[in-house]
Amino acid sequence: MDAVPYVSALAALAGLVLAAFFFGVVKKADPGNDRMVELMNAIQQGARAFLRREYTWVAGFVVIMAVLIAVLLDYGRPWGAIAYVAGACLSGLAGFVGMTVATMANARTTQAARTGPQAALPLAFKGGAVMGFTVAGLALFGLSVAYIVFVKVLKVDQAFEVVTAFGLGASSIALFSRVGGGIYTKAADVGADLVGKVEAGIPEDDPRNPATIADNVGDNVGDVAGMGADLFESYAGSLIAPIALAAFAFSGNEAFQERALLFPLAIGAFGMVASIIGAFTVRAKADATSKDLARSLHMGTNVAAVLTVVLAFVFGYLFFNDVEGVENWWGMPLAVVLGLGVGMGIGFVSEFFTSDHYGPVRKIARQSETGPATTVLSGVSAGLLSVAPAVLLILVAVGGAYWAADHALPGNDLSGIYGIAIAAIGMLATTGVVVSVDAYGPIADNAGGIAEMAHLPSEVREVTDSLDALGNTTAAVAKGFAVGSAAVTALALFKAFQQAVESGGQTLDLNLGDVWVFAGVFLGAMLPFLFAALTIDAVGRAANRMIEEVRRQFRDIPGLREGKEGVVPDYASCVTISTDAALKEMLLPGALAIVIPLVLGFVSIDALGGFLAGALVSGFALAIFMANAGGAWDNAKKHIEAGSHGGKGSDSHKAAVVGDTVGDPFKDTSGPSMNILIKVMTIVALVFVPAFL
């Protein structure tokens, strides 16, 4: 068992080696003609400039938090602060690496699309896989090394609290990256769509539109760098939750506790191996239809999932078959498999509500025939309806995992909660390939933009549009995985928080009859709505400035709207608008998630417990609603653009564009930030328990 952290570190390195290999494949691919290379470089420079400024701002926050950990917490001098900074740095690195390769892969995917989807899809997937395996590899490697250093080598007092600080560092970067990147990308997207497609009647990504470069930059800083930091945090959090819980829960059974502490790292290791194998199964045929393309992408996820199921039971037997007190060794691996199955189930729910192969999106497209109001109403309805099956699936995961783990170690009240925690790892065990499929989407989207701006033949844009529509669905599936794991992980972290309070000599009272608990629950239920309002309003304000700038350029630059030769818009001014807005507007929502739990913890520990419970429930439901409604509106627009209900330029299309712009901040700013919000607040509470007490 002593070798497990080292094996998981090696598995993580294997994932990073695969990422490096795919990076080389993408780099060697043909980037196309001079105009395509020029556009690729402009997008890359804009994305790098934004990330440099964003990380500079966030670095100040990281320093403040590191000082607080060092001052307020005994174990923070210096190990907790060091672990916190390490988690933050690796999370930021994951986002930067993913953004770098995505901005290289876009033009290369466009060039590959000239020969058809059979070349373009695998190349875009390999670009996404660099992100996927960098995220999973860095998270697993960072946690494995933290375990080896703090637990095995230095044997630091309260070593598991130190490991938890690593997760808080990852969460801090993820929160600001997701919010800041989301505001950037949607301000540009909304501005470009409303003025370009609705007012000016020009195609999406037309080079006459001054906001197109900012829009394509936004795809990378929001949907790639922000998403990478997000999934890094989700994956790291899912591994930390059962480790933290086991440190408190099983002190009376040292043999089982040792296995329970190491089992999450083992799941990460064999999940990485399964993801690596699955990644090599993604291919596309020369005559592939849209369904064939979807099947090709899903093949990698499905192969990885099947291998994970098999390996879960193999390692479950090796870990728990001969441990004192364990009556049914299959309980723990069954909890992992239940988590994986429910994660895929939530992914299918997201696909059902966001793919134009199914009824909800087609209904929205039909409703677009009667205007923007019915388009918006049908999208809201679809998003709200999608919450019900997602919640039921979470209950299946929680109830099933609790039952399975409780049967494995009967007599311990916390074994079932531990089972729930490892079910969350099951949801994200195949993170490498899941994020690969997700990051593929922004690359395909950028490829379409470059095809339009470089004036390539229409058949090239048709290929990239088919890849892009599929990318919207795969993104919704990945968001379903992320938010589902967030709910289950937050529950496990909450239980670890409760155990930490009790180990400090106090009892966490969650009686709703207590006024502090009641107030905390309502505050917690309110915060996700406040957070969503602030981020959506930020997008609205930035989009307003973007719209006015695009209108000004169409009005003041002679020949721009008509597309006269030699007339070029001022792309840089639009990039500046998105950058400044994102950096300014991300601070308040991000600070709320950190400050409110800290303040409540020093006022009343019971109020903080109620607050975390309320935020978990409302935040999960709101995240599912917003992600699926936004994805449904987007694909309804693309369904019409493919020729249905009047096609491009029709009144139905204009109504669908309005629905899409409403959904943009839903699915790419506020919605995906919710899963970080509910976890970062819980992990802040857990890390700072000693200071609260």
The pLDDT tens digits of the residues spanning 7-55 come to: 999 999 999 999 999 999 999 999 999 999 998 998 998 888 888 888 9
Dist CA 662 CA 658 (whole Å):
6
Dist CA 106 CA 638 (whole Å):
20
Half-sphere exposure of 292 (CA within 13 A, CB side): 11
Q: Is the pLDDT confidence value at 109 over 70?
A: yes
Q: What's the pLDDT score for residue 161? A: 83
Dist CA 352 CA 340 (whole Å):
18
Percent of the chain with pLDDT over 70: 98
Dist CA 592 CA 596 (whole Å):
6
- Using only the alpha carbons of the chain, give its radius of gyration: 24
Q: Which of 50-54, 73-77, 337-341 has the highest mean pLDDT?
A: 337-341
**With contact defined as beta carbons under 8 Å apart, do 658 and 634 qualify?**
no
Quick one: average pLDDT of 474-503? Answer: 81
pLDDT band at 289, cuts 50/70/90?
A: low
Long-range contacts of 119-124 (CB under 8 A, 24+ apart): 120/444, 120/447, 120/463, 120/464, 120/467, 121/282, 121/284, 121/288, 121/293, 121/296, 121/297, 121/467, 122/282, 122/283, 122/284, 123/25, 123/26, 123/29, 124/440, 124/443, 124/444, 124/447, 124/467
Q: Which of 213-217, 286-290, 401-405 has the lowest mean pLDDT?
A: 286-290
Q: Coil, helix or strand for 371?
A: coil
Q: Is the pLDDT confidence value at 308 over 80?
A: yes
Say how many residues make up the chain: 693
Amino acid identity, residue 147?
Y
Largest CA distance in the chain: 81
Chain centre distance of CA 141 = 19
pLDDT band at 76, cuts 50/70/90?
A: low
Greater confidence, 164 or 249?
A: 164
Q: Count other C-beta atoms under 10 Å from residue 411's C-beta.
A: 9
Q: Is the pTM of this model over 0.85?
A: yes
Q: How many helices (H) and strands (E) does the chain have?
A: 22, 0
Q: Count other C-beta atoms under 10 Å from residue 298's C-beta.
A: 20
Q: What's the pLDDT score for residue 244? A: 86
